[in-house]
Amino acid sequence: MRRIVNSTYVSLDGVIEHLEKWHFDYLDEDANALVWDQLSASDAVLMGRKSYEGHAEAWPGRTDAFADKINSMEKYVVSTTMSRAEWSNTTIINGDLAEEVRKLKRKPGKGILVWGFGPVAETLLEHGLFDELCLWIHPVLVGIGEPGDLLFRAGTSSKLKLVDNRIFDSGVVVLTYRPEAAAGETIPLRPTATNAGARTRDDPLKPRGVADARCDRRARRSTSTAILPPCRSRTLRPCVGFSTAMPSATTTRRSRRSIPTSNSG
């Protein structure tokens, strides 16, 4: 069965919107690498109408590696008002969202990405349809925004288990959560120089892609290096994990402005 992964950028004070004011300073090779990992593991994107409109404006005219991948993926946009979609490989979902997503999960294929945390993400969380929730926590207090701009909002309740932890040189911490499972279940990891093989759900706090010394409180003075690599809020905008990510380590101001800066659905 296909996996559904949510990837969302969030500030320390819970803001997931207004990315243009706080997110772009934290783009680096680590972020780009993780974004690419997420894209490579997926062949479809699910989003709300607002997110769709932002992405559909930003990506079709681009020709870099990220754009080529995104433009070729299947896109599913949740909307009761859209009658047609211009972006290639787009299907409109206007019926029961939970039931339609269950059908998508049963189809053969790779993973399905949901960028940002809005109405679509809330519905999937409510019905237990997420397999993974990836939060990119940025070391910044934004200090702006309305209640709807926050990750934390009334009505959203779910018990999750931390299964992965990455620390980037930029200060961004990527926390990955999954629905709780039996203790000791093996979680496959991409082998690295400091973390070969797999670890279990009993050891979720060891940063992935970070030298072992960084994980050991008794060795805090040791030198550790972040090895590997993350969109935005409500439904998707090229933010939560990639909308803001560029195909190269250097992101120009011009390229940043070309990407939507809303995480809402």
Tens-digit pLDDT profile for residues 41-64: 999 999 999 999 989 999 999 989
For residue 240, the model assigns a pLDDT of 37
For residue 177, the model assigns a pLDDT of 96
Q: How confident is the model at residue 263 (pLDDT cuts 50, 70, 90)?
A: low
For residue 103, the model assigns a pLDDT of 97
List the chain domain ranges.
4-248
What CATH class does 4-248 carry?
Answer: alpha beta
DSSP string, the chain: ---EEEEEEEETT-B-S-GGGTTGGG--HHHHHHHHHHHHTEEEEEEEHHHHHHHHHHSTT--SHHHHHHHHSEEEEE-SS-----STTEEEE-S-HHHHHHHHHHSSSSEEEEES-SHHHHHHHHTT--SEEEEEEES-------GGGBS--TT----EEEEEEEE-TTS-EEEEEEE---TT-EE----BTTB-S-EETT-TTS-TTB-HHHH-GGGTTS---B------SSS--TTTTTTT--SSS---HHHHHTS------
Range in 18-22, 131-135, 219-223, 225-229 with the lowest mean pLDDT? 225-229
For residue 154, the model assigns a pLDDT of 80
- Answer whether 0.85 is exceeded by the pTM: no
For residue 251, the model assigns a pLDDT of 38
Question: Higher-confidence residue: 145 or 181?
Answer: 145
Tens-digit pLDDT profile for residues 58-75: 999 998 999 999 999 999
Q: Does 223 have pLDDT greater than 90? A: no
Q: Does 188 have pLDDT greater than 70? A: no
